[in-house]
Amino acid sequence: MSVIPHLINGELVTENGRAVDVFNPSTGQAIHKLPLASQATIQKAIDAAKAAFPAWRNTPPAKRAQVMFRFKQLLEQNEARISQLISEEHGKTLEDAAGELKRGIENVEFACAAPEILKGEYSRNVGPNIDAWSDFQPLGVVAGITPFNFPAMVPLWMYPLAIVCGNCFILKPSERDPSSTLLIAQLLLEAGLPKGVMNVVHGDKTAVDALIEAPEVKALSFVGSTPIAEYIYAEGTKRGKRVQALGGAKNHAVLMPDADLDNAVSALMGAAYGSCGERCMAISVAVCVGDQVADALVAKLVPQIKALKIGAGTSCGLDMGPLVTGQARDKVSGYVDDGVAAGATLVVDGRGLSVAGHEEGFFLGGCLFDNVTPEMRIYKEEIFGPVLCVVRVNSLEEAMQLINDHEYGNGTCIFTRDGEAARLFCDEIEVGMVGVNVPLPVPVAYHSFGGWKRSLFGDLHAYGPDGVRFYTRRKAITQRWPQRASHEASQFAFPSL
């Protein structure tokens, strides 16, 4: 069984000590051994990043961008290899893995605009012979802690932008599927990034706490569950760090009576069951305005859910692979058990699915509940699996109140042909990302990604313009060169024009 190393100061590093197995979820077999970083190893990465920072911050933004241009090319050239690693360790289909990588590459493309996005602001003659300007300077050593569900895309939300802004980066990826993340970081070094600017350390809570506690680490980016996001935000900000911590979600799709139902069903199938529902933007609740809409939706969904093509993620032509771990599969199955016990109608039951030739894999079929009510656990909590709940309401206002009352506010969408209803929904819904006839309204790289309420802790969203602001700090400079022949008396009042 091969050992997956850390990447510190441009070198692959292994260590003896605590380790965990990395599994292929399609077979249920351990395929790699992953050492968990000690505090000493974390400190080595921090020291490497700190040592690399002075030279990197003084590297012109255009030269930093050139590294990103080469990095983008290497990512595109290695798409098949990266997708294979993602699928082997996460379980998502090859097509889904390739799509994830493409969305990550969009953020590299945005980072290539470093000379433009880092331009400061300048004002001449704000006072007599006084000019003022501001520029955006890097923070220093920053770190990212990323989830298992997007081992390529989510890290690419963080470090390309952080690095072109002049920072040095330490990444702690998920210990469940680290190989693709490590390979991508190695490609960045191949693109010409100096040693120490990008480091990868594997670990668990010990590594997370070491990054939180290290005074050299000036900022933390996190994507994962809400309890951990809240913990990292509280502990990081308590130590004076800048923190953006993206947490959980319970994303609703509202179906109006005038919706194009066939297109809505197609959209919901992908949004609810793509990647086994292991997406923070997955649609897990369909809110139907009127029983007629709900009855028609369920009737159209059932045959398509039963026809889902499920198998080993590395096979071609599939709709779904396995869940990431056996524990994840069992947890989702437990939610289905709980929904049945609470009185929801289980219309399609995906429990007990066995895939020929992969009987030990972590598979679960698509599940569909009808007549779900807001007090049920399957409605309130993030399931993170292939389970869609249908909730019935009588009006758009009732649907919106339902969404606004939920503790999460990550993403939502509405299916309608009514512009007035769509505008009302966009204006009044208390959710950070909204789609109109778009089921997964994930912003493109030159906008920013983030939810509201308990889906985000921190003031700035991920990537895009907010990402630039997060990874830099503004410095305002006011400068005056008095004329040689002039002499001015002292001024004791507060200066003004």
Catalytic positions, written as ranges: 280
Q: Is 463 exposed, middle or buried (0-12, 13-18, 19+ CB in 10 A)?
A: buried
Helical pair 291-306 and 261-273, crossing angle rounded to 10 deg: 50
Using alpha carbons only, what angle is made at residue 269 by residues 265 and 273, rounded to the nearest 5 degrees? 160
Which backbone phi and psi does 402 adopt, to 5 degrees?
-60, -45
Give the span between the Cα atoms of 312 and 310, in whole angstroms.
7
Beta strands (DSSP E) in 310-440 are 345-348, 367-370, 387-393, 408-409, 411-415, 433-436
Contact 193, 171 (CB under 8 A): no
Continuous H helices in 38-78: 39-57, 61-77
Give the span between the Cα atoms of 188 and 179, in whole angstroms.
15
Report the DSSP pairing between strands 242-246 and 456-457. antiparallel
If you write DSSP's letter for every residue of 453-489 in order, what string do you get? ETTEESSS-BSHHHHHHHTEEEEEEEEE---TT----
Count H helices and E strands in the chain, helices first. Answer: 16, 23
In Å, how far from its chain's centre is CA 211?
19
Task: Compute how many other C-beta atoms are within 10 angstroms of the C-beta atom of residue 404.
Answer: 15
Residue with tokens 């909590």: 381
Task: Compute how many other C-beta atoms are within 10 angstroms of the C-beta atom of residue 167.
Answer: 25
